[in-house]
Amino acid sequence: MTTVDTLPTTEQRSLRTRLLSANTFWIALVLLALLVVFSALAPDTFLTFFNFQNLFIETSVLLVVAVGMTFVIITGGIDLSVGSVLIFASMISAKTMQWMSPGQDIGKADWGVIAVGLVVALAGGAVWGLINGLLVARANIPPLIVTLGTLGAALGAASLLNDGTDIRPAPSALSDVLGFGTLEGNIPNMVVVAAVITVLFGLVLHTTRFGRYTYAIGSNAEATRRAGIGAARQLTNVYLLSGCLAGVAGFMSMAYFQGTTISGNVTLNLSAIAGVVLGGTSLFGGVGTILGTVIGVFIPAVLQKGFNIINVQQYWQQIAVGAVLVAAVWFDQQRRRRSKN
């Protein structure tokens, strides 16, 4: 047999090896297995267009936050503040739109006012992201400590804006179009926005210099600095991105829930981190994909939806998600040990 004859077999084996060693492949199998199990247990209720439509809508806000979190964790950092930043962004946006609306009736806000509200939400998220980035990258304070501090600060600032109470309702036009509107009558606009953001930043992460520098910092920050890459600037921009996406998510949340939700998104940071880690992004940095994050976000969502349909107590849902999360981190550690040997 000639070298040419053996080449396809070698390439096939190499492809198979890479596929089987990829975290995303195994996480996708877990998600597929969950879908098959719940479809078999409750085919008339789980395996329906209505159920999956709701599933996609309910994960849209979380997915946008998790995309930003993916960049942060790939650098070897963490952002505990995203839930509070989301709340702050939605509160300051709603307060601005309320102030600009006729008679301060936010429900009657027109699209000009809504556009200003979106800009304010983005700016609000960006400010907290910039604070996180500067303290982590320039002051060299551990990201866990920085974002734990801004978690409380952002939540407190959000509460101060309206004396600790939510602002309701959201502008009717915003809720009708973004919160409950659909594209072609079937695809919710919330899902469309989340999908566009996910694809866009997936391309940024995997095809641009910004993405390569993000991976480089997570792989070896010191080597990145010695190579002449502005590591501090890059790290600051990554946290800035996370804050901006939390701001967008806050605007989306306000549209869907028809108002702000001070108490409803406090633990969103933990859900985002869980989704990113479940998707194969390493807590040690340098490894991760947006596709993996998408899959990781849907695993707890499918578990929760499936357990609700088959009437399993909420406590078992939490145990199941926790077990899967611990297993994902354990597999990541095993992969790292094998790569070093």
Q: pLDDT per residue over 41-88, tens digit each?
A: 998 899 899 999 999 999 999 999 999 999 999 999 999 999 999 999
Q: What are phi and psi of 171, to 5 degrees?
A: -55, 135
Of 11-15, 225-229, 247-251, 321-325, the poorest mean pLDDT is in 11-15
Instruction: State mean pLDDT over 233-251.
Output: 97
- For the chain, what are the domain ranges? 25-38+49-340
Of 132-141, 235-244, 283-292, 325-334, the poorest mean pLDDT is in 325-334
| pLDDT of 16 over the 80 cut | no
Tens digit of pLDDT for each residue in 79-131?
Answer: 999 999 999 999 999 999 999 988 788 988 999 999 999 999 999 999 999 99
| Distance from C-alpha of 199 to C-alpha of 192, rounded to nearest angstrom | 11
Q: For the chain, what is the mean pLDDT?
A: 89
pLDDT bin (cut points 50, 70, 90) of residue 26 is confident
Question: Which CATH number is associated with domain 25-38+49-340?
Answer: 1.10.3470
What are the tokens at 32? 């597929």
Question: How many Cβ atoms from other residues are within 10 Å of residue 339's Cβ?
Answer: 9
pTM: 0.90
What are the tokens at 153? 């600060």
Q: What is the DSSP string of 306-341?
A: HHHHTT--HHHHHHHHHHHHHHHHHHHHHHHHHHH-
R_g of the chain computed on alpha carbons: 21
The share of the chain scoring above pLDDT 90, in percent, equals 65
| Distance from C-alpha of 297 to C-alpha of 67, rounded to nearest angstrom | 10
Instruction: State mean pLDDT over 269-281.
Output: 91
Instruction: State mean pLDDT over 22-51.
Output: 88
| Contact indicator for 249, 86 with CB cutoff of 8 Å | yes
Q: What are phi and psi of 182, to 5 degrees?
A: -130, 155
